[in-house]
A and B are shown apart, each in its own frame.
Chain A
Amino acid sequence: MAVDLSVTLSGRTLPNPVMTASGCAANGRELHRFFDVSTLGAFVTKTVMMDPRSGRGTPRMAETSSGMLNSIGLQGPGIHAFVAKDLPWLKSVGARVLVSIAGNTAGEFADVAKVLVDSDAFDCVVGVEVNISCPNVANRGLVFACDPLASGKVIALVREQLPRDVPMFAKLTPDVTDIVSIADAAVKSGATGLTMINTLLGMVIDTDRLRPQLGGITGGLSGPSIRPVAVRALWQVTAAMREGRFLTVPLIGVGGVRTGRDALELIAAGATAVQVGTATFNDPTAPQRVLTELEALAESHGVARISELVAVAHDRMVIP
């Protein structure tokens, strides 16, 4: 019997739980050469800010064991070009879009959200992902998501700009002492869901030249090597919500998903939906393949609905 793959995220029902990850799929056209991006639960766009950004110099990448380091520096066309060109294209192919936004200041996040909401193609948007894992210019470049107050402020300001029924996900970094307190602050400020995790800060030294390999010196670590960190973060936040420490909201899991089995692991830890990032660089059809594999696995577990597997591992602990 076929498994019902549909999932509901903050009131929006998606046909399946698999998405691209922000910054790992550009804005759709490139991957659409390999598979129909409208078959995914949602398409997550590259984080966009107010103005065009060049991003950093090169080299911007280093391969690591089962992963990579990147320092792109949020290169992008700016929100006006995004709503004029990219969003209408995604709508034209029938994609459901989760738009990732960011700002240099809390106010800029809200301004970006406003331009998005006022755009013609906004009806293809199934939610906004607020990438608070980026530096706060007003606070010496400290990442918003490292500070519960700054995180809460951004979320509250963006919430004011979004219609009530538009889901808003705060994207968290795992590079914090207590991710639960950041999740708590984001939810209390109006996030209707959380995406985790963003990359972990890392560094690689080129041992031939004996100098940092990345032009930007440090970069974000991603890929299968960080999957256990994603599982842990999802687990901790799910456990806290189950204990009633704050409102229960849906989680989107991201970090190291390469196969359907990896996706299932994040779901069992607490994710309702799953994003595929770095694995797409290895295989441009990875998001679609993960979906097919996940469906087969869910079927082998004998469930009628994929949603029955969300956070299932919390109920299966054996405590002797």
Chain B
Amino acid sequence: MSTATRDSGVVQVRGEVIAIRRAGAYHHLTIVAPGVAELARPGQFAALAVGGPTTGNLLRRSFSIHKVSPSGTYGGTLDLVIAAKGAGTEWLTALRAHDTVDVVAPLGRPFPLPTEAVPTVLVGGGYGSAPLFWLADVLRERGCTVEMVLGAASEDRLFGVVEARRAADRVTVTTDDGSAGQRGWVSDVLPEVFRRTGAPVAYACGPMGMLQSVTRVAAEHGAVAQVAVEESMACGVGVCMTCVMPVRGKDGVTAMVRSCVEGPVFRGDRIRWEAFHDGVCGVPEDAVGAPKVGGH
């Protein structure tokens, strides 16, 4: 069953899980979700309902689209990589083949692609690498070279190292504990990668701290970072206003914008990183409609 479309670029479908397998610390789900593949582009995400029709967990859970395939024996499919963390992701990762799950996708803005064949750097932190392989394929189709940097706390939290070797021209791996690749953070190896490739653009997905450092290192090397952010989302479709963050527009004016609609991909240098502190984000004083003293 598939509803909506109305030429709206998004579908709501009752998806059927056809495969679920472990990938290190994560679960990789393949879901039959007709209509999604034709619309989706790398960087967009899917919002899944969890717990079944009578669940007390009402809010949708958002996941980057790992890949899509338009046809096949089962109809179009959607692949997601999920880390079990709380009630919703526990439920999703406990699904079995032929279980159903309500999917709304694709959502948000995709990674903008370069108009010319340029060298590119793709950086993934933990499950944040999930959308990058598909992106790499699209970039290479356009003649771009792709260098990937994958980082995580430990080896089991890396996702797709083998796939990276296929999808990218060169791969560097880092782990905080040194259990795979180089010990340290992606930001330790990035300066060398930018120097070597001369890439004018970097694409990144992962924890906010990592996105901030990718943005900084990219700027130091004259490159633009396009980062896919993660903020708590209740609806994923733009109606609740929970997912906002302070982002500077083209006009230089900062506004609290919805990351599910105007993101999740933003130019890194437009995000007001200084407003984020340990999981809490404030409203910069110069943001549109910021509280005045004695105001809200």
* A interface list, Cβ under 8 A from B: 23-26, 30-36, 46, 51-61, 63, 65-68, 70, 72-76, 78, 104, 135, 137, 209, 215, 223-225, 278-285
Contact = CB atoms under 8 A, between A and B. Distances in A.
Contacts of B8: 32-34
Contacts of B104: 284
A70 B255 contact: no
Interface of B: 3-4, 6, 8-10, 12, 49, 56-60, 102, 104, 231-232, 234-235, 237-245, 255-256, 261, 275, 279-283, 287-291, 294-296
A82 to B, nearest CB: 13
- Give the residue among A23, A73, A225 with the most B Cβ atoms within 10 A: A73
B238 A57 contact: no
Nearest to B281: A58
A275 to B, nearest CB: 13
A280 to B, nearest CB: 6
B279 A59 contact: yes
A52 B261 contact: no
B17 to A, nearest CB: 19
Contacts of A25: 239
A66 B235 contact: no
A137 to B, nearest CB: 7
Nearest to B50: A282
Nearest to A288: B3
Contact of A51 (B56, B234, B289): B289
Nearest to A28: B239
A31 B239 contact: yes
B282 A61 contact: no
19 contacts: A23-B240, A33-B8, A52-B289, A54-B288, A57-B281, A58-B232, A60-B244, A63-B58, A68-B58, A75-B244, A75-B256, A76-B289, A104-B295, A104-B296, A215-B280, A278-B58, A281-B59, A282-B49, A283-B12
A72 B289 contact: no
Nearest to A63: B59
Nearest to B256: A54
Nearest to A212: B280
Contacts of A58: 231-232, 242-245, 280-281
A135 B296 contact: yes
A70 B232 CA distance: 11
Contact of B237 (A30, A52, A53): A30
Contact of A285 (B3, B9, B244): B3
A70 B242 contact: yes
Closest 7 CB pairs of A and B: A33-B8, A52-B289, A30-B238, A281-B235, A66-B56, A61-B242, A53-B289
Nearest to A278: B58
Contacts of A67: 58
A67 B56 CA distance: 7
Given A54-B288, A54-B290, A75-B244, 18 more contacts: A24-B239, A25-B239, A26-B239, A31-B237, A31-B239, A33-B4, A34-B4, A55-B289, A58-B280, A59-B242, A61-B242, A63-B234, A67-B58, A68-B59, A75-B256, A224-B56, A279-B58, A280-B239
A95 to B, nearest CB: 15
A35 B279 CA distance: 35
B239 A72 contact: no
Contact of B239 (A65, A209, A281): A281
A71 to B, nearest CB: 9
A281 B234 contact: yes
B235 A55 contact: no
Nearest to B7: A33
Contacts of B290: 54
B281 A215 contact: yes
Contacts of B261: 30
A11 B137 CA distance: 60
A68 B235 CA distance: 11
B6 A223 contact: no
A70 B35 CA distance: 32
- Give the residue among B3, B12, B242, B279 with the most A Cβ atoms within 10 A: B242
Nearest to B261: A30
A284 B288 contact: no
A255 to B, nearest CB: 14
Contact of B10 (A33, A54, A72, A209): A33
A70 B240 contact: yes
A264 B265 CA distance: 42
Nearest to A76: B289
Nearest to B288: A52
A57 B242 contact: no
Given A34-B4, A53-B289, A78-B289, A23 B235 contact: no
Nearest to A57: B282
Given A25-B239, A278-B58, A285 B12 contact: yes
Given A26-B238, A31-B239, A58-B231, A209 B56 contact: no
B237 A284 contact: yes
Contacts of A54: 255-256, 283, 287-291
Nearest to A29: B238
A109 to B, nearest CB: 15
B242 A60 contact: yes
Contacts of A63: 57-59, 234
A193 B239 CA distance: 26
A283 B3 CA distance: 12
Contacts of B243: 58, 60
